[in-house]
C-alpha cells in the first residue's frame, strides 16, 4: 500500500482568493496574478510541520485555509505553543525579522491550504508592491504585540487571569458562534492551553472543570466553547 503524502500540490488558483487578504487587498488583479503564478499551492494534513525551527528560511508562506500553531522548543526539549495563526495571514516571514532561519516551527492544527514562494522573491515583492510591505509589517507588529502582552501576563497575572485572557484572545481571533456560545474554531487540547499560558496540565484541567460547572465554558472532544464571555472578561481583569 502506498503511503499517503502529508502534503499535496494543488492546481492553478484564481486571483480572487487573494483579493480580500491584507497583503494583497490593495493590489491590482494583474499584480495578484503575477504573484500567484510564482507560488506553489499545497494542501497539508492536520499535524504536519510546514517548516521547522532552525531550518533555512528558503520559503515564505500564506495560509489560505485552516489554522497553524507556532511552536518553540525550549533548551530542555519541551514544546511550547507560542501563537495560533488563522487563515489569511503570512507566516515563515523570517526575512521581515532579518533572519535566514525560521525562529519557530509551524504545525497545522487542522487540514490547511498553504501558498509558498521562494525567499528570494521577498525583496522583489517588498520593492514592487508597497502595500505588500506595509501590511506585512503590520502583521509582524501585531504578533510581537501579542507575544509582549503574554510576557507581561506571565509576570503580573494569576493563572486564572492568564487562562481567561488566552481563551478570550482565541475566540476573538478564531471564534465561531454556535447555539452554545463562541467556539474556538480548531481543535485545541488542554495541553495546548497549558503551553499557551505557562501553567500545568493539572491546573488547566482543574480550572476548565470549575468553569464548566459555573457555565462559563464547555470543553469536549478537543473543542472549547466559551458560553459566558463577559464572566471571563471579569476574571481576566480581576
Query: What pLDDT does residue 10 have?
Result: 63
Kindly state the average pLDDT of the residues 190-199: 86
pLDDT score of 11: 62
Give SS3 for 49.
strand
Percent of the chain whose pLDDT exceeds 90: 43
| pTM of the entire predicted model | 0.76
Measure CA 159 to chain center: 22
How far apart, in Å, are the Cα atoms of 35 and each of 7, 42, 94? 22, 16, 19
Across-strand partners of 16? none
- Average pLDDT on 97-121 reads 93
User: Is 83 in contact with 47 (CB distance < 8 Å)?
Assistant: no
User: What is the grid cell recorded at 207?
Assistant: 480550572
- Compute the distance between CA of residue 45 and CA of residue 6 in angstroms, rounded to an integer: 5
160 versus 196: the higher-pLDDT residue is: 160
Q: Of the ranges 54-58, 111-115, 220-224, which one carries the lowest mean pLDDT score?
A: 220-224
Nearest Cα neighbor of 195 from 131, 104, 126, 127 is 104
Q: For the chain, which residues make up each domain, given as ranges?
A: 7-146, 157-236
pLDDT for the residue numbered 234: 94
Give residue 1's pLDDT.
Answer: 41
What average pLDDT does range 130-143 have in this prediction? 82
Question: What's the CATH class of domain 7-146?
Answer: mainly beta
What pLDDT score was predicted for residue 21? 86
Report the candidate in 5, 8, 9 with the shortest Cα–Cα distance to residue 40: 9
Residue 7 pLDDT: 64
Cα 44 to Cα 66: distance, rounded to the nearest angstrom: 9
Compute the mean pLDDT over every residue in the chain, rounded to the nearest whole number. Answer: 87
Report pLDDT for 212: 95
pLDDT grade for 4, boundaries at 50, 70 and 90? very low
E strand map for the chain = 7-9, 40-44, 49-51, 59-65, 67-73, 79-86, 89-91, 105-108, 112-118, 175-177, 182-184, 217-220, 223-226
| Mean pLDDT of the region 149-159 | 80
Q: What share of residues in the chain are helix, strand, coil (percent, to 5)?
A: 40, 25, 35
- For the record, the C-alpha cell of 134 comes out as 506595509
* pLDDT classification of 5: cutoffs 50, 70, 90: low
Which residues, in sequence order, are bridge partners of residue 83? 70
pLDDT tier at 199, thresholds 50, 70, 90? confident
When the candidates are 3.30.413.10, 1.10.10.10, 3.40.50.300, 3.40.50.720, the CATH number that belongs to 157-236 is 1.10.10.10
Amino acid at each position: 500500500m502506498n503511503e499517503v503524502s502529508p502534503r499535496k500540490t494543488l492546481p492553478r488558483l484564481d486571483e480572487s482568493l487573494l483579493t480580500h487578504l491584507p497583503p494583497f487587498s490593495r493590489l491590482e488583479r494583474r499584480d495578484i496574478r503575477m504573484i500567484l503564478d510564482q507560488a506553489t499551492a499545497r494542501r497539508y494534513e492536520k499535524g504536519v510541520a510546514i517548516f521547522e525551527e532552525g531550518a533555512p528560511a528558503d520559503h515564505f508562506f500564506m495560509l489560505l485555509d485552516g489554522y497553524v500553531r507556532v511552536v518553540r522548543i525550549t533548551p530542555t526539549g519541551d514544546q511550547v505553543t507560542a501563537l495560533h495563526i488563522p487563515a489569511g495571514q503570512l507566516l515563515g516571514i523570517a526575512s521581515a525579522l532579518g533572519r535566514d532561519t525560521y525562529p519557530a516551527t509551524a504545525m497545522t492544527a487542522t487540514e490547511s491550504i498553504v501558498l509558498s514562494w521562494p525567499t528570494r522573491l521577498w525583496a522583489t515583492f517588498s520593492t514592487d508592491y508597497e502595500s505588500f510591505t506595509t501590511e506585512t509589517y503590520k502583521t509582524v507588529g501585531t504578533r510581537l504585540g501579542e507575544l509582549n502582552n503574554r510576557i507581561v501576563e506571565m509576570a503580573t497575572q494569576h493563572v486564572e487571569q492568564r487562562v481567561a485572557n488566552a481563551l478570550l484572545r482565541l475566540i476573538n481571533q478564531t471564534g465561531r458562534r454556535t447555539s452554545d456560545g463562541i467556539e474556538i474554531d480548531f481543535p485545541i487540547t488542554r495541553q495546548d492551553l497549558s503551553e499557551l499560558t505557562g501553567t500545568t496540565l493539572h491546573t488547566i484541567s482543574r480550572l476548565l472543570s470549575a468553569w464548566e460547572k459555573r457555565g462559563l465554558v464547555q470543553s469536549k472532544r478537543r473543542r472549547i466553547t466559551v458560553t459566558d464571555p463577559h464572566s471571563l472578561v471579569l476574571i481576566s481583569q480581576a
